Every structure is written in C-alpha cells, then in structure tokens.
C-alpha cells in the first residue's frame, strides 16, 4: 500500500484529499502545518507528500527544504498544492525540489492521476 502525507491547514481540502486517497488504497497521514509534517516524517517514509505553501508555523517552502536535507526521504515525491499561482511561486517551488506544482482550486481527478503517475515511476 502506498503512503501519502497530506500537509494543509484547510480542513475541507484535507477531508476531501484524505477521503479520495483512502478510496484509492493509499495509507493516509495528515498534518495541519509543516512542523506537524516533519514530526510524522520522523516515523513514516511516504511515497508522496502533498504540501501546501501558506501554512502557520512552518510554511511549505521551509518544509520542503528540510525534507530535501533528509536522506531517508530521497525517494519521496513532493507535490505542492497551493493557491500561490504566480510564475515566480511555481519556479521557486520547483527549484526547491518539488516534483510537481499544482494550484488551487483543483480537480480531484487530476490530482489523483498526477499522484498515481508520480508513484508509478
């Protein structure tokens, strides 16, 4: 079973993604901000992380930097899912090492297909 960590502070988005990925046979872990995600990642090595940018405590960019420094997570794919949709935001996210950069509002079907494609490689 593939493991996914969903990191977002918007309850409706978390609920939607959690339900969707459980339905697609993923083991789902939830974090409300970057610091919670980093705690989870001490014990769990996921196949993929869905990461928001704008969150309290530790934002998505900072979280990704820390993830990329952790050798245990070298094979973990990271997908930004955020409302920050300017070209400079996208460029920054990809430059920091995100595998994909998707923007809100989003299509659940598209996210599932993007994630499945990523974890299949």
Query: In this predicted model, what pLDDT tens digit does every residue of 35-68 receive, in sequence order?
Result: 999 999 999 999 999 999 999 889 999 999 999 9
pTM (2 d.p.): 0.95
CATH number assigned to the domain with residue range 2-114, chosen from the 4 options 3.40.190.10, 3.30.70.360, 3.40.50.2300, 3.40.50.720: 3.40.50.2300
Residue 121 has pLDDT above 90, yes or no: no
Please choose, from the candidates 41, 46, 57, the residue with its C-alpha nearest in 3D space to the C-alpha of residue 79. Answer: 46
pLDDT at 79: 97
Q: What is the dihedral of CA 99, 13, 45, 97, to 10 degrees?
A: 20
Exposure pattern of 64-81 as b/e (b: 16+ CB <10 Å)?
beebeeeeebeebbbbbb
Q: Identify the band that residue 22 occupies on the pLDDT scale cut at 50, 70 and 90.
A: very high
């Amino acid at each position: 079973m593939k493991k996914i960590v969903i990191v977002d502070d918007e309850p409706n988005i978390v609920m939607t993604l959690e339900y969707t990925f459980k339905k697609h046979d993923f083991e789902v872990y939830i974090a409300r901000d970057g610091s919670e995600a980093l705690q989870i990642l001490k014990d769990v090595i996921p196949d993929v992380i869905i990461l928001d940018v704008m969150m309290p405590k530790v934002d998505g960019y900072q979280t990704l930097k820390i993830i990329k420094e952790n050798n245990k997570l070298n094979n973990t794919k990271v997908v930004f899912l955020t409302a920050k949709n300017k070209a400079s935001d996208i460029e920054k996210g990809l430059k920091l090492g995100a595998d994909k950069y998707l923007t809100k509002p989003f299509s659940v079907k598209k996210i599932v297909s993007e994630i499945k494609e990523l974890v299949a490689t």
